[in-house]
């Protein structure tokens, strides 16, 4: 495979039909370090045709579950074999630290193993009691068909695996379109699927932009399901495009996630240190480019000054740099566009009355001059009327709001059009359960932030999307239920007398 043959259709690597290519930039210094095929609608059509043939005429949908699971486990083993190289690639492509890249590879391996185990250990169907010994009635689950998988730039390998693993476990074929900004690790994953023994045509990839490749996949009449992870505006376009062919749609569209801290969580020095540390992690891991980032700190008024002061002090000390460099804690933003977007949000917040406690600008120094770096930023005295509080930024920006009562805390946390994730920090176990129960978010952490499990569903309420990834429901997204009713003693009904 040459550098620009990153489109994989029917088991063959090829360049774009148009011959176009795209440079991939290192976000740490804006230099070109790779080139990929810039596919278009013609490439998308070819990939869908290959996936359609592989599903309708190929062996994979009819391959025994144990054999499908074995392929998924081999993929997990190959991921671990290539862990260091993939971690380095994810770091350089997306800007995150290399340790985050390594952790992503581990999480991807876990997802493949989880879905392999899930399909092997589940029952073969559900018997339905029809009320007669002469009737054998049962419900089975079958693959939905050809799946279009569209993934974002912030967690390229991880988000690809959350779609690919359950799609394959269920017996589907697919076409994946990774983000045109960070496609490299997904290309590597397709190669590992090949190496693991996946039949030709089951896994297809088209590298290219969303407005051509993604749009064509979403509207394509031979696609049975489209699963999209990304921004709200793009997600609504995907949903509209899918409507004409009435295909299944799964959307994960991000969030504006509250991190609610009650004063009683910080009564001890250890509790205070932990809550501050976790607030930093919630907001600034991967420079805040996380759909579940805890970018809204909602803190009890009596704790505010002490907590925010220490938070800002530690935020100032976060070490920025190239993600592959030793000791770096936070890498660059993924692109010049994302950097400009972050700067715009901070400027609007300050204009609307927010108080800057840390960050708020690009770092100084020659090592940062060409890259897309932005200092971790804490904005105090924020309120719901500000854009920076309402809208998803995808940058290292934390806003601070305060409350006096439990009801006020819950109201603030739920006052968002999104509903992906949130957290509550308290030493009162009764309060923890009450608040967690009242939060309208798909994942709620108590005295923690960010962990997820492949066994537990991931997704959100409201405009955070439709459907779930991971867990049994994540597998169900890629299946259709079929009721089979067998009459063991057929005889005339005699409804019509003639």
**Which parts of 290-394 are beta strand (E)?**
296-300, 355-358, 377-380
Residues 6+ apart with CB under 8 A from 471: 454, 455, 456, 457, 458
Q: Which of 90, 100, 252, 406 is catalytic?
A: 252
User: What distance, in Å, lies between the first and last C-alpha atoms of the chain?
Assistant: 70
Q: What are the residues facing 384 on neighbouring strands?
A: none
Q: H/E element holding 12?
A: strand 12-14
213's torsion region: left (phi>0), alpha (psi -120 to 50) or beta?
alpha
The 3-state DSSP class for residue 98 equals helix
Cα–Cα distances (Å) from 355 to 17, 163, 280, 358, 446, in that order, read 52, 41, 18, 9, 28
59, exposed or middle or buried, with CB in 10 Å at 0-12, 13-18, 19+?
A: exposed
Residues 6+ apart with CB under 8 A from 440: 414, 419, 461, 462
Q: What are the residues facing 425 on neighbouring strands?
A: 261
- Tokens 């002061």 correspond to 309
| Closest by CA position to 226, among listed 203, 240, 242, 207 | 242
Neighbour-count burial for 85-96, b at 16+ CB within 10 Å, e otherwise: ebbebbbbbbbb
Tell me, yes or no, if 252 is annotated catalytic: yes
Q: What are the residues facing 485 on neighbouring strands?
A: 137
Q: How many CB atoms lie within 10 A of CB 246?
A: 7
Neighbour-count burial for 390-410, b at 16+ CB within 10 Å, e otherwise: eebbbbbbbbbbbbeebeebb
Q: Which of 38, 90, 219, 291 is catalytic?
A: 291
The 3-state DSSP class for residue 309 equals helix
| Closest by CA position to 282, among listed 316, 315, 313 | 315
**Which parts of 211-295 are beta strand (E)?**
225-229, 248-252, 258-261
Euclidean distance between CA atoms 337 and 341, whole angstroms: 6
Tell me, yes or no, if 266 is annotated catalytic: no
Helices first, then strands: H and E counts in the chain: 15, 20
Task: Please identify every residue annotated as catalytic.
Answer: 252, 291
């Amino acid at each position: 495979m040459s550098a620009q043959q990153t489109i994989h259709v029917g088991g063959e690597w090829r360049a774009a039909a148009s011959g176009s290519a795209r440079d991939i930039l290192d976000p740490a210094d804006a230099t070109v370090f790779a080139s990929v095929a810039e596919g278009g609608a013609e490439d998308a059509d070819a990939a869908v045709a290959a996936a359609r043939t592989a599903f309708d005429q190929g062996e994979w949908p009819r391959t025994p579950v144990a054999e499908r699971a074995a392929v998924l486990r081999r993929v997990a083993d190959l991921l671990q074999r290539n862990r260091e190289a993939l971690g380095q690639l994810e770091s350089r492509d997306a800007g995150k630290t290399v340790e985050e890249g390594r952790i992503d590879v581990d999480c991807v391996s876990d997802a493949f193993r989880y879905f392999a185990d899930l399909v092997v250990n589940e029952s073969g169907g559900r018997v339905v009691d029809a009320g007669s010994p002469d009737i054998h009635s049962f419900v089975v689950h079958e693959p939905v068909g050809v799946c279009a998988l569209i993934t974002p730039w912030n967690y390229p390998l991880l988000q690809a695996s959350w779609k690919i693993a359950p799609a394959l476990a269920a017996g589907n074929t697919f076409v994946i379109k990774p983000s045109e900004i960070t496609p490299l690790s997904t290309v590597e994953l397709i190669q590992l699927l090949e190496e693991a023994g996946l039949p030709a045509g089951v896994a297809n990839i088209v590298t290219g932009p969303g407005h051509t490749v993604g749009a064509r996949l979403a509207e394509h009449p031979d696609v049975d399901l489209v699963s999209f992870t990304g921004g709200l505006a793009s997600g609504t376009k995907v949903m509209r495009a899918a409507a004409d062919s009435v295909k299944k749609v799964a959307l994960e569209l991000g969030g504006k996630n509250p991190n609610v801290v009650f004063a009683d969580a910080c009564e001890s020095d250890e509790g205070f240190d932990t809550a501050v540390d976790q607030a930093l992690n919630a907001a600034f891991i991967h420079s805040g480019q996380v759909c579940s980032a805890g970018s809204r700190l909602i803190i009890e008024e009596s704790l505010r000054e002490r907590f925010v002061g220490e938070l800002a002090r530690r935020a100032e000390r976060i070490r920025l740099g190239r993600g592959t460099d030793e000791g770096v804690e936070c890498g660059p933003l993924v692109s010049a566009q994302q950097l400009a977007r972050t700067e715009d949000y901070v400027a609007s917040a300050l204009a609307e009355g927010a108080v800057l406690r840390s960050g708020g600008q690009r770092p100084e120094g020659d090592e940062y001059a060409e890259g897309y770096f932005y200092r971790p930023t804490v904005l105090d005295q924020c309120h719901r009327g500000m854009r920076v509080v309402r809208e998803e930024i995808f940058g290292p920006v934390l806003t601070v709001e305060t409350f006096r009562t439990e009801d006020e805390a819950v109201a603030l946390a739920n006052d968002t059009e999104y509903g992906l994730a949130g957290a509550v920090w308290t030493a009162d176990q009764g309060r923890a359960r009450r608040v967690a129960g009242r939060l309208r978010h798909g994942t709620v952490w108590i005295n923690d932030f960010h962990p997820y499990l492949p066994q537990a569903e991931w997704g959100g309420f409201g405009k955070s999307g439709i459907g779930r990834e991971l867990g049994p429901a994540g597998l169900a997204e890629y299946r259709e239920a079929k009721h089979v009713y067998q009459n063991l003693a057929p005889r005339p009904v005699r409804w019509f007398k003639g």
